[in-house]
Amino acid sequence: MTPLASWNDGSAKSAIVDFVDRVVRDVAPPERVAVFDNDGTLWCEKPAYIQLDFLIRRLAAKAAADPGLAREQPYLAASTADLGWFGAAITRHYQGDDTALKVLAAAVMSLHESMAVEDHAALVSAFFAEATHPTLGRPYRDCVYAPMVELLRYLEDHQFSCYIVSGGARDFMRPVTEAVYGIPPERVVGSAQGLKFTGDSTGHGDLLIQPTLDVFDDGPEKPVRIWSRIGRRPILSAGNSNGDDEMLMYSGRPDASALRLIVLHDDDDREFSYTAGAERLLEHAGAHGWTVVSMKNDWATVFGD
CATH topology assigned to domain 11-46+138-298: Rossmann fold (3.40.50)
CA–CA separation, 31 and 279 (whole Å)? 31
What's the Rg (C-alpha) of the chain?
Answer: 20
pLDDT tens digits, the chain, 305 residues: what are they? 678 999 999 999 999 999 999 999 999 999 999 999 999 999 999 988 899 899 989 999 999 998 888 889 999 999 988 878 887 887 888 788 999 989 998 999 999 999 999 999 999 999 999 999 999 999 999 999 999 999 999 999 999 999 999 999 999 999 999 999 999 999 999 999 999 999 999 999 999 999 999 999 999 999 999 999 999 999 999 999 999 999 999 999 888 889 999 999 999 999 999 999 999 999 999 999 999 999 999 999 999 98
pLDDT of residue 70: 87
Class of residue 269 by CB neighbours under 10 A (exposed 0-12, middle 13-18, buried 19+) = exposed
Question: Where are the CATH 3.40.50.1000 domain residues in the chain?
Answer: 11-46+138-298
Nearest to 260 by CA among 5, 22, 40, 34: 34
278, amino acid identity? A
pLDDT of residue 219: 96
The beta strands (E) that lie in the chain are given as: 33-36, 161-169, 188-199, 205-215, 236-239, 259-266, 273-274, 291-294
Q: How many CB atoms lie within 10 A of CB 186?
A: 10
Nearest to 156 by CA among 279, 34, 6, 245: 34
pLDDT of residue 254: 86
pLDDT of residue 1: 62
